[in-house]
Structure 1
Amino acid sequence: MGGYVLYMRHTSKDQSKTEEKDREDFDNCSWQNDLTEIGRGEAKQLGEIFSELGIPIADVLSSPYCRCINTARLAFGQSVKRVAALRSTDGVSSNEKMKGLQDELDRLLNTPPPTGKNTVIVGHSTNLKKVTGILPEEAPEGSTTIFLPHPGSQWQCFQTILLKGWKIEK
């Protein structure tokens, strides 16, 4: 299975903090809602699922938020590229900045990976909703939404697989 862009929501996060939406110091996890222990386990489980199913991954792109970076690293263990434009759109007040974030995600969803491989994007529900219309309840934490890029046209969304929806036949 290759040629797809796989948009993965970060796994279960700690919701005990009220994040300051305008902060940009993403290396500092102290102000962010990072992964819970359950979320860390879910991320590792996703990596095991992808490995067992033989899903070939070319690049792993991530929002700069700690919960996304940690989901990506725990799942795939390879180098993860932080993409500033994948930051959460929640709390972005500038219309110009919001449009830039939306345009960049739209471009990434429509960029084909290398032949026979897939691109993984780890991000947030707010971004997915603004660009694709997919609601957070339709793509909860830990879910993966599969897109087929069509350069020069519009990407095609196939389906969202919930964390518990992956099947491994032995």
Structure 2
Amino acid sequence: MRRLVLLVLVLAGLTAPAHADSPTITPDDIGPGHVIVMRHALAPGTGDPPDLTLGDCGTQRNLDDRGRAQARALGEALRDAGLTGLSVLSSQWCRCLETARLLDVGEVRPFPPLNSFFRWREREADQMAALRDHLASMPADAPPTVMVTHQVVISSLTGVFARSGEAVVVRAGTRPVAVVGRLALER
């Protein structure tokens, strides 16, 4: 069953037409009103163990050394573009919180609407409504914000299947969510 769910998610990402052709932008293109919605850095595996407990990293899929290096490099690219002192919101999963902290671009705050619903699809509608409401309520000229989350959240929000460490930039203060482009962060 788990393989079937993974196959469906992969195929959905390959066939999702929405914003698949979004332009590539660089950190230098980020300005007021932009929200960087980033998938956590590399964390080997898929999903989480059945005994997942928020706050207990030993029960979750976590970043490995490659993921930590990736998060640091992504943060360096953002800092090199002058993106510091940002508001950073994160899923409560350990791999997202660690990615957010390793970016080192601002104070990290847990934000439950960014949590994964990979195993709990019944949570998707309410969670996505809360996330869309939050984005719509942000001032259109707000300083850039970073949100670290999961592939399922990014796909549901934007129609983009993000790889580990990939980011999609959206506009604050819009409804529906307006995708600006995919953020090129690889160094």
Preserved CA contact (<8 Å) 2:135 2:173: no
RMSD over equivalenced CA pairs, Å: 2.3
User: Which protein has the bigger helix share?
Assistant: 2
Gaps of 5+ in 2: 1-30
Partner of residue 2, structure 1: 32
Aligned length: 157
Give the distance between the partners of 1:106 and 1:32, measured in 2 at CA: 27
Gaps of 5+ in 1: none
2:129 to 87, 95, 103: 103
Give the distance between the partners of 2:100 and 2:48, measured in 1 at CA: 23
The answer on 1:159 being equivalent to 2:181 is yes
Structure 2 counterpart SS, 1:103: helix
Partner of residue 28, structure 1: 56
Partner of residue 84, structure 1: 112
Structure 2 counterpart SS, 1:126: helix
Give the distance between the partners of 2:157 and 2:173, measured in 1 at CA: 16
Preserved CA contact (<8 Å) 1:92 1:98: yes
Give the distance between the partners of 1:18 and 1:99, measured in 2 at CA: 21
The answer on 1:112 being equivalent to 2:138 is yes
> In structure 2, do the counterparts of structure 1 residues 108 and 116 end up closer, same or farther at CA, with 3 Å as the change threshold?
closer
The letter of the residue matching 2:160 is: I
Identical-residue share of aligned pairs (%): 27
Preserved CA contact (<8 Å) 1:3 1:116: yes
> In structure 2, do the counterparts of structure 1 residues 59 and 30 end up closer, same or farther at CA, with 3 Å as the change threshold?
same
Deviations 1:84-141 (A, max 9, x none): 22110101143xx321111122223334368562111000010111222222xxx211
Q: Displaced runs of 4+ in structure 1, greater than 6 A?
A: none
The letter of the residue matching 2:144 is: N
1:143 to 156, 161, 166: 166
Partner of residue 69, structure 1: 97
* Alignment TM-score, normalising by the size of structure 1: 0.81
